[in-house]
Amino acid sequence: MSMKIPFFNNKHSEESLYYPEDNTPNHIAIIMDGNGRWAGKRGMVRAAGHKEGVSTVVKIVNAAVKCKVKVLTLYTFSKENWKRPKTEIDFILRLPKEFLQIYLPELISNNVRIEVIGDMENLPTYTREAVQYAIDRTVDNDGLQMNIALNYGSRHEILHAMKEMITDINNAKLSLDELDERQFSGYLYTAGMKDPDLLIRTGGEKRLSNFLLWQLAYTEFWFTDVLWPDFTEKEFLLAVEEYRKRKRRFGGI
């Protein structure tokens, strides 16, 4: 069985692409890079790029819903982003509240369920309250799961998981002899989720930037020079189409 989704060529005429449901990536992770450079090219402050990037999030979430992707993980704010100017940090951390105030009804109507991965304790109260409200409002939705990676760093995640695992071993809740990769994965922020099938990074950089290092072990990567505010549904579909052409062997033949 196949499904039909819209696709636009360079002349913006509507065509069709068919994605077999068994070959569509179940979990897509995106490093949304290039907001600041997008603004700089237009003589605007960096905050303007971040704000424009929010509208791109909505477009790509809608595209993922059409493609019947099950999980979409968006790298929103990293542990390293605290090194940026305070005014920019404050603006970025207020965006989830602004984004959800405007778009939460649309996300709910699309049956999207919102989750957050990352260290929430050190985030401002207004950020935590906004995302928790969205989590609570969408908890019963069973469509696309949108993971917002906030104050996230993969090395911190792995270290935190190891500490919790060691505590459980010391308390005889876990046997060291029986510990395997599956059990360790259960201590990560992504516990219970399948690893990403496809990673998309916009903005021209070709690195992981401390994002999902454990989970991306066998993920297919797709990089584009397109800056995140300019990233369109067409670009997203091109990434999905490229994924379909690849043969994943997982170390086999």
Q: Which active-site residues does the annotation give?
A: 33, 81
What span, in angstroms and rounded, lies between the C-alpha atoms of 114 and 138? 6
Residue 115 among known ligand-binding residues: no
Residue 246 among known ligand-binding residues: no
Single-letter code of the amino acid located at 60: I
Instruction: Tell me whether strands 198-201 and 2-8 are parallel, antiparallel or unpaired.
Output: unpaired
Residue 38 among known ligand-binding residues: yes
47: Cα within 13 Å, side-chain hemisphere: 11
Residue 207 among known ligand-binding residues: yes
Residue 80 among known ligand-binding residues: yes
Q: What is the DSSP string of 32-62?
A: ---HHHHHHHTT--HHHHHHHHHHHHHHHHH
What span, in angstroms and rounded, lies between the C-alpha atoms of 94 and 198? 28
What span, in angstroms and rounded, lies between the C-alpha atoms of 88 and 114? 24
Residue 36 among known ligand-binding residues: yes
Residue 160 among known ligand-binding residues: no
Check if the beta carbon of residue 26 is closer than 8 Å to that of residue 71: yes
Residue 113 among known ligand-binding residues: no
What span, in angstroms and rounded, lies between the C-alpha atoms of 141 and 105? 12
Residue 208 among known ligand-binding residues: yes
Residue 185 among known ligand-binding residues: no
Binding site residue list for Mg(2+)? 33, 220
Binding site residue list? 33-38, 46, 50, 78-80, 82, 84, 201, 207-209, 220
